[in-house]
Homo-oligomer: A and B are copies of this chain.
Amino acid sequence: MGKHTVIFRNQPKILATATIAGPKESAGIVGKYVDKQLADDKFGEDTFEKAECKMLTYAIEHAIINAGLEREQIDVLVSGDLLNQIISASFAARDFNIPFLGVYGACSTLAEALAIGASLIDSGYLKHVMAATGSHFSTAERQYRYPLELGCTRPPQAQWTVTGAGGFVLGKEGDIAITSATFGKVVDYGITDVNNMGAAMAPAARDTILTHLKETGRDPSYYDLIVTGDLGALGSRILKDLTWEKGVDIGKNHVDCGEIVYKVIEDEFQGGSGAGCSALVFGSYLFDKLRHGGLRRILLAATGALLSTVSSAQGESIPCICHAVSVEVV
């Protein structure tokens, strides 16, 4: 076992997923695979924050149903989101009578939750763990950037926070396994442009992906896909260059959830981002390919930018992280 990579002896399984997507996301590649397409991005609530929480609650509830389980059979919910004090996860957890572990890794939160959940299952402590995360364009804009009402122009290197959520039920039985997890280190290349997350996060993705390949003794070709969370088009190109510099070519099998979730016109924007981005794409489109053929081995390497408006205002650069889990049909 490498220092950063845990190889799971008992190969915990992903029993089922459930995803929900906003209107813009539903029009994209994930549309036909999600459990629910939203026509109203307020989901019938009076605030976007309550809508985000309701979406996460929906994903958790329906993942349990899709797994054929009862709420009482979920031993722990591991969840987080982008909002201050991860209120979407905390308030969603309030609706379920399930022990709750709050986690925060920005847009890497899903991979972190899957890694912690898989560890708790693999060790035999727990039978079923729910990993879930989500995000909402309008809550993220308000909290991290500007009020939508200002109608600020978005620079071309900007990304679009995904309105979506995904829930993942982990257990012992099944044929889609989480075979290993690589815990990421914080990497900071000194990027201070909060509109250029892809560039800020790419070095963290390289660090974790190369660490994973080295510690598992695997070549990139071992995986059908090396999936990053939300580097976007520019960040993905930077990642391929950075890994190429280290003598590793992931160009043939790399795909980024943020790049495929929308139809990207790179002059306008770089694609999707947010804790819900990898949850939505992996939980719907990619998971369907694992279940029904087309994909057998995925490395999900989700990155997160660990900044806050306060750290940026105080002149800090953007520390980033990437956690990875290998998901294989066994």
Contact = CB atoms under 8 A, between A and B. Distances in A.
Interface string A293-330: 00000000000001111110010100101000000000
A185 B100 contact: yes
A206 to B, nearest CB: 15
A119 B122 CA distance: 11
A183 interface: yes
A103 B106 contact: no
A308 B84 contact: yes
A198 to B, nearest CB: 18
Interface residues of A, number: 53
Contact of A93 (B6, B309, B319): B319
Say what secondary structure dominates the interface of chain A. Answer: mixed
A314 B85 contact: no
Interface in A175-194: 183-186, 188
Interface of A: 1, 3-4, 6, 47, 49-50, 75-76, 80, 83-87, 90-91, 93-94, 97-106, 112, 116, 119-120, 122-123, 125-126, 143, 183-186, 188, 306-311, 314, 316, 319, 321
